[in-house]
Amino acid sequence: MTPRDDAKTRLATDIISEAYVEGLSAWRHQEIRQDGTIHDFYFALARLGGHQNRKGDHPPGWQTIWRGWNDLQAMVTGVEAMKNTERCG
């Protein structure tokens, strides 16, 4: 089994925090999903970073993935901050 095959079958939650998987799936699918694979997570993260994933497009590069990761971190941090403010007041 190649790493790419593993990415298409292995759950993203096996290696990525549930908060990040839930945040990205909520953004991408407008619902929380925890059954996405690493492959699904990678391309959703690329989409968040600006990759269009059209037929003629090259695979997403590291800068696109980085932009998506930065945006995802901001989303997860915002959700965590909202949870903390609910406890305070």
The tens digit of pLDDT for each residue in 69-78 reads 999 999 999 9
Average pLDDT over residues 43-63: 95
Using a 10 angstrom Cβ sphere, with 0-12 exposed, 13-18 middle and 19 or more buried, the burial of residue 40 is: buried
Question: Which residue in the block uniquely carries the two structure tokens 């901001």?
Answer: 74
Provide the whole-model pTM. Answer: 0.86
Our measurement of the distance from residue 37's CA atom to the centroid of its chain's CA atoms, rounded to an integer in Å, reads: 10
Question: Which residue in the block uniquely carries the two structure tokens 């590069």?
Answer: 61
Question: Which residue in the block uniquely carries the two structure tokens 């059954």?
Answer: 35
Q: Is the model's pLDDT at 88 over the cut of 70?
A: no
CATH class of this structure's domain 3-88: mainly alpha
What is the three-class DSSP state of 11?
A: strand
The residues that bridge with 37 in the sheet, in sequence order, are: 11
